[in-house]
Structure 1
Amino acid sequence: MFKRKMAPQLTYLSQKTEFEGVLHGEGMLRVDGVIHGTVDIKGDVEISSTGLIEGPEVKAHNIVVEGVLKARVFAKGKLTLSRTARLEGDVVAGSLEIEPGAYYTGYIETCDAKSLPPAREVPELYGTTEV
């Protein structure tokens, strides 16, 4: 027989809700409120413009930030920072998209960085002199 495909589960934290602790989940997470703690989601995380996550680390497949994120970030897929985003923390992500106007401070490493060829010496530019 045919198997019915299940819709992904959505965990929603509303704007006037605050959570403190460790949050694990299988589906997707949308944060309009505040989370203080560790977030480990198997699916995607979206932090709206009113949302805040502050803690030691956030792990998810894809992460979209429109609000505030203060943590070490591990995105297996893509990390997207919208123009209203504020991110403070180190990032390891498969890929990264930053819109103009987003604020970010920290260290960024893409997962494929180790597969890049070694850096070459930069050729001397015409008209440059050493001081």
Structure 2
Amino acid sequence: MGPTYVAPNSEFQGTMHVEGDLLVDGIIHGTVEVRGDVVISETGLVEGSELRARNLVVHGVLKAKVLLDGTLTLSHTARLEGDVSASAFSVETGAFYMGYIETGDVKALPGTRTRPELMGAAEEYYPKEGY
């Protein structure tokens, strides 16, 4: 069985559940839940509250919270707006991303829900005198 396909000039609205893989050349408005991998092509757009999948490759536009078991890959044509939780993250030069990314095995890391504190002000390490 091949991937579920949303063709160019096609538009879907609502909650989409896919048991295998999903290839998006068209437009999806809504929540997307995929047991396999998702590829959003350069002509594809997904906009909704959440996208869940194993792995995700973005060449087009994605505006959603992203929850992945595997890897998020952004190509140089990608535009992603939303927070991401994934095991790994790969981005090509030229991709646009706005949001918060959490990578790695979240269960294995203590305190991953808080952002790390910076060590201190730059003046502590580089005094103004002598520079």
* Smaller-chain TM-score bracket: 0.7 to 0.9
Tell me what 2:82 maps to. 89
Which whole-Å CA distance do the structure 1 matches of 2:118 and 2:57 have between them? Answer: 34
1:76–1:128 CA distance, 2 compared to 1 (3 A):
same
1:115 equivalenced with 2:109 (yes/no): yes
Q: Tell me the percent identity.
A: 52
Tell me what 2:19 maps to. 26
Which aligned pairs between 1:17-96 and structure 2 lie closer than 5 A?
17-96=10-89
The alpha carbon displacement at 1:128 in A equals 1.5
Q: Residues 10-52 of structure 1, C-alpha deviation per residue, up to 9 Å, x if partnerless?
A: 1000011000000001100000000000000000000000000
1:105 to 93, 98, 102: 98
What are the ranges of 5 or more consecutive residues in structure 2 without an aligned counterpart? 111-115
The alpha carbon displacement at 1:82 in A equals 0.2
The alpha carbon displacement at 1:129 in A equals 1.0
Which whole-Å CA distance do the structure 1 matches of 2:83 and 2:100 have between them? Answer: 5
Q: Which amino acid aligns with 1:129?
A: P
User: Number of residue pairs matched?
Assistant: 123
The alpha carbon displacement at 1:119 in A equals 8.3
1:37–1:120 CA distance, 2 compared to 1 (3 A):
closer
Secondary structure at 2:105 match in 1: helix
Consecutive aligned runs of 4 or more in structure 1 exceeding 6 Å deviation:
none
The alpha carbon displacement at 1:121 in A equals 5.5
Q: Which has the higher strand share?
A: 1
Alpha-carbon RMSD across the aligned residues, in angstroms, is 2.7
Q: Residues 66-113 of structure 1, C-alpha deviation per residue, up to 9 Å, x if partnerless?
A: 000000001110000000000000000010000000000000001335
What are the ranges of 5 or more consecutive residues in structure 1 without an aligned counterpart? 1-6
